[in-house]
Amino acid sequence: MELNLNRQQILRMIDDALAEDIGTGDLTTEAVVDSTQQVQGELIAKEEGVIAGLAVAGLIFERLGAKIDYQQQIEEGVRVRPQTVIATISGLAAPILTGERVALNFLQRLSGIATKTAQYAELVADYDVRIVDTRKTTPGLRMLEKYAVRVGGGFNHRCGLYDAVLIKDNHIQVVGSITEAVEQAKEGVPHTVKIEVEVETLAEVKEALASGVDIIMLDNMPPELMEKAVGLIAGQTVTEASGGITAETIKEVAQAGVDIISLGTLTHTISALDISLRLGSDNNDRPKG
């Protein structure tokens, strides 16, 4: 999978990250490394996982304005074994050392998200259901984190408040009812925009159905109640399960018959994949995939 995203937006993220880390200069590298010194090295995945963000890492070194040769050794989205060389790098030592941490931060986090997404997708592979993300992303990194979800085999929910209507419990509390909120939404947005409503009870399911929504989110429902709700909806609209779903319960949720399972944990509760940059070594015996 290629990094088919808005290049300028990615570069802004990279520039912000580099400015945060470098500030007025890399004191250590400038003090101890000769500006003409050349190095070569390898980016190594130290644990099993799905790799995402290789192109982002390359852009970081490119952004530092130096002659650096960065070569991916595997395809984006590949699951690797521990000690796999995922990219090689050579060129001036100083900019490589300066960009090392920012490149690894992006690679490790995006690969962690892709790995976790793949885990959940594999758990429900036997069911006709999609695993999707939420807006529970790191501020400023949403586009890349949602990209990593796709690399891991998941799908994206709305990207922001601007591309879909999702009427949640607090909206209903403010407006007064599901019916009133949906009616106002239909009057206020183009007909091309889908309208989703969050429900917690069977009575709310019936009200949402009567309102003619496009998607019903079954929020924090136990699987047995969720199954009743899906039966009540009977294919009249898309069904989404959300809230408190874990690796231990996700199969039960899929068995309830929902179309979509949304998981904030894909992006807000992840472990970064352990990846390191090793300079000056010649490790030709390491696995390449």
198 assigned to active site: yes
219 assigned to active site: yes
Among residues 76, 219, 227, 240, which one is catalytic? 219
101 assigned to active site: yes
Q: Roughly what angle, to the nearest 10 degrees, separates helices 202-211 and 223-233? A: 30
Among residues 42, 198, 204, 227, which one is catalytic? 198
Binding-site annotation, residues for substrate: 101, 134-136, 158, 168, 198, 219, 242-244, 263-265
116 assigned to active site: no
Judging by DSSP bridges, how do beta strands 38-45 and 84-92 pair with one another? Answer: antiparallel
Among residues 46, 81, 168, 278, which one is catalytic? 168
Among 3, 107, 102, 105, CA closest to 45: 107
169 assigned to active site: no
Among residues 136, 194, 251, 286, which one is catalytic? 136
Provide φ and ψ at 59, rounded to 5°.
Answer: -65, -35
Give the three-class secondary structure for 239: strand
In order of 96, 110, 207, 244, the CA distances from 187 in angstroms are 55, 39, 18, 33
Among residues 63, 79, 101, 228, which one is catalytic? 101
Tokens read off for 148: 């990593």
Q: How many alpha carbons lie under 13 Å from residue 258 in its C-beta half-sphere?
A: 31
Which strands make up the sheet holding 84-92, listed edge to edge? 68-72, 84-92, 38-45, 275-279
Alpha-carbon distance of 152 to 130, in angstroms, equals 12
Q: What is the set of active-site residues?
A: 101, 136, 168, 198, 219
